[in-house]
Structure 1
Amino acid sequence: MGGTSAAASEVSAAPEAPGLSRRERIEQLRSRIAAVPARGESVAARADRAPGTTTREVLPVPGPLAELLPQGGLPRGSVVAVSGAASLLIGLLASVTASGGHAAVVGHPRLGLLAASEMGADLGRLAVIPDPGPDPVEVAAVLLDGLDLVVLGLGALVVPPSRARAVVARARSKGATLLVTGGGWDGTEIRLDASVREYDGLDRGCGRLRGLRLSVGAEGRAFQRRTARIDLCPRRDRVEWFPETAEPQPLSRVPGGAA
Structure 2
Amino acid sequence: MIESAVRGLGMTEPARGATGAPVDGPLSGLLPGGRLRPGTAAAAGGDVPLLLALAADAVAAAGRAGHGTVGWAAVGLPELGALAAADAGLDLGAGLWVDDPGGRWPAVLSALLEAVPVVLVGPGLPAMPDRVHRRLAALQRRHGTVLVAAGAWPGAAVRLTVVRAAWEGVKDGHGLLRGRRVTVAATGRGAAAGSASADLWLPGPDGRAAAVEPAPVAVPAPGPERLPRPVRPGPFGQPVKWRVW
Q: Do the aligned partners of residues 163 and 215 (structure 1) sit closer, same or farther apart at CA in structure 2, a change above 3 Å counting?
A: same
Query: TM-score normalised to the size of structure 2?
Result: 0.72
* Distance in 2 separating the partners of 1:242 and 1:154: 25
Matched, 1:116 2:101: no
User: What code does the residue aligned with 1:79 have?
Assistant: A
Gaps of at least 5 residues in structure 1 are 1-27, 48-59, 249-259
Q: How does 1:153-172 map to 2 (within 5 A)?
A: 153-155=122-124, 157-172=126-141
* Alignment partner of 1:186 out of 149, 154, 160: 154
Contact 1:30 1:142 in 2 (8 A): yes
Larger-Rg structure:
2
Contact 1:94 1:117 in 2 (8 A): no
Counterpart position of 1:198: 166
Q: Do the aligned partners of residues 247 and 97 (structure 1) sit closer, same or farther apart at CA in structure 2, a change above 3 Å counting?
A: farther
* Alignment partner of 2:21 out of 5, 22, 46: 46
Q: Do the aligned partners of residues 40 and 245 (structure 1) sit closer, same or farther apart at CA in structure 2, a change above 3 Å counting?
A: same
Q: Shift of the alpha carbon at 1:171?
A: 0.4
Structure in which a larger fraction of residues adopt strand: 1
Contact 2:51 2:149 in 1 (8 A): no
SS in 1 for 2:169: strand
* Distance in 2 separating the partners of 1:102 and 1:33: 8
Query: TM-score normalised to the size of structure 1?
Result: 0.69
Counterpart position of 2:238: none
Q: Shift of the alpha carbon at 1:208?
A: 2.5
Q: Shift of the alpha carbon at 1:121?
A: 2.1
* Distance in 1 separating the partners of 2:155 and 2:174: 43
* Distance in 2 separating the partners of 1:40 and 1:203: 49
Runs of 4+ in structure 1 deviating by more than 6 angstroms, as ranges, are none
* Distance in 1 separating the partners of 2:94 and 2:81: 15
* Distance in 1 separating the partners of 2:154 and 2:99: 24
Count of residues in Structure 1 that have an aligned counterpart in Structure 2: 203
* Alignment partner of 1:233 out of 192, 204, 209: 204
* Distance in 2 separating the partners of 1:117 and 1:40: 24
SS in 1 for 2:97: strand
Please give the per-residue CA displacement for 1:161-185, whole angstroms capped at 9, x wherever unaligned: 2211111011000111112233x64
Matched, 1:71 2:39: no
Counterpart position of 2:42: 80
Please give the per-residue CA displacement for 1:43-65, whole angstroms capped at 9, x wherever unaligned: 82234xxxxxxxxxxxx7x8111
Q: Shift of the alpha carbon at 1:192?
A: 1.8
Gaps of at least 5 residues in structure 2 are 64-68, 217-245
User: What code does the residue aligned with 1:203 have?
Assistant: K
Q: Do the aligned partners of residues 123 and 245 (structure 1) sit closer, same or farther apart at CA in structure 2, a change above 3 Å counting?
A: same
Q: Do the aligned partners of residues 77 and 187 (structure 1) sit closer, same or farther apart at CA in structure 2, a change above 3 Å counting?
A: same
Contact 1:29 1:142 in 2 (8 A): yes
Contact 1:215 1:230 in 2 (8 A): yes
Contact 1:230 1:242 in 2 (8 A): yes
Contact 1:149 1:179 in 2 (8 A): yes
Contact 2:168 2:180 in 1 (8 A): yes
